[in-house]
Amino acid sequence: MSGAAIILMVISIVVLWGGLAASIVAIVRRPDRTDWPEGWEDDGGPGGRPDKPVEHDT
């Protein structure tokens, strides 16, 4: 392998694993929201509560 190929490979690995590490840190620092504001239970929007799956009539 040439020097340029090795440098490009190292940069690609750093970007890939760095993105994974940043994603893990972000999800650990801010997990799913649990403090919903008043009135979110009956917002009347599609799907209703945001923590439940959307149910469709078929």
Task: Kindly write down the DSSP assignment for every residue of 15-51, as one continuous string.
Answer: HHHHHHHHHHHHHHHS-S---PPTT-TT--STTSSTT
- What is the C-alpha to C-alpha distance for residues 46 and 50, in angstroms, rounded to an integer? 9
Residue ranges of the chain with per-residue pLDDT less than 70: 33-54
- pLDDT score, position 25: 94
Q: Looking at the whole model, is its pTM more than 0.95? A: no
- What is the C-alpha to C-alpha distance for residues 52 and 43, in angstroms, rounded to an integer? 13
- pLDDT score, position 50: 58
| Sign (positive or negative) of CA dihedral 48, 37, 25, 13 | positive
- pLDDT score, position 54: 65
